[in-house]
Chain A
Amino acid sequence: QKEVEQDPGPLSVPEGAIVSLNCTYSNSAFQYFMWYRQYSRKGPELLMYTYSSGNKEDGRFTAQVDKSSKYISLFIRDSQPSDSATYLCAMIGPSTGGSYIPTFGRGTSLIVHP
């Protein structure tokens, strides 16, 4: 079992829909939780990050962490065709040597059609 599991999709939704993207993880030591967005033929870029459990909102995006269930989510409200991309979750926790290198999920491909 991988440390971080993420359904690769694709997830196809109509414009305006609420999108829910999710990751599960097995390492209870993870402390920081991030979502990266990757457009086609581009590198990933940080979208949001949260520390420990709880919610964080940024415009149409809400990141949610449930450490008790080892489950994180990214919600996108009023989805737009420009949100079409691959969304990768990433997590950081103490590791050997204290390096704090993120562990990435495989990414979920999101398609928002007009």
Chain B
Amino acid sequence: DAGVIQSPRHEVTEMGQEVTLRCKPISGHDYLFWYRQTMMRGLELLIYFNNNVPIDDSGMPEDRFSAKMPNASFSTLKIQPSEPRDSAVYFCASSLRKTGLIGAGNTIYFGEGSWLTVV
């Protein structure tokens, strides 16, 4: 299995520009998560989807952030307009069934992250 695939791996953009991060979850997984990681705040859950439907977006910091999942194999996280404080590593992750049911195949699998720098 190829794992969770994210693109781009690195992005440097100017303040005010639109940023789009992309994710392909593991085939067959029905949960998809977007996390943001910074030194100060650690790993924060931004939003998660179940069967392509957004379930909880309470972690999205503000209206500049939006996420979509048009089909089971693709999701985007968009920041418009971007600001320097958005600089972070953004992880996409996927899992099969509810993560509370711990066992083989139920863990969260993370991608390698998209490193975003807004200058």
**Nearest Cβ in chain B — how far from A56, in angstroms?**
12
Q: A45 on the interface (CB 8 Å rule)?
A: yes
Chain A: interface secondary structure? loop
Interface size class for chain A? 20 to 34
Among B93, B99, B102, B112, chain A packs the most CB atoms within 10 A around the CB of B102
A100 to B56, CA, bound (A): 12
Q: Count of chain B residues with Cβ under 8 Å from any Cβ of A?
A: 25
Q: Give chain A interface residues in 63-114, CB to chain B under 8 Å.
A: 88, 92, 94, 97-102, 104-107
Contact of A43 among B56, B93, B102, B107 (CB under 8 A): B93
Chain A residues positioned under 8 Å from B108 (CB to CB): 46, 102
Stretch at the interface among B13-21, B40-48, B60-68, B75-83: B40-48
Chain A residues positioned under 8 Å from B119 (CB to CB): none
* Residues in B lying within 8 Å of A, measured CB to CB: 4, 33, 39, 41-43, 45, 48, 55-56, 91, 93, 98-102, 107-113, 115
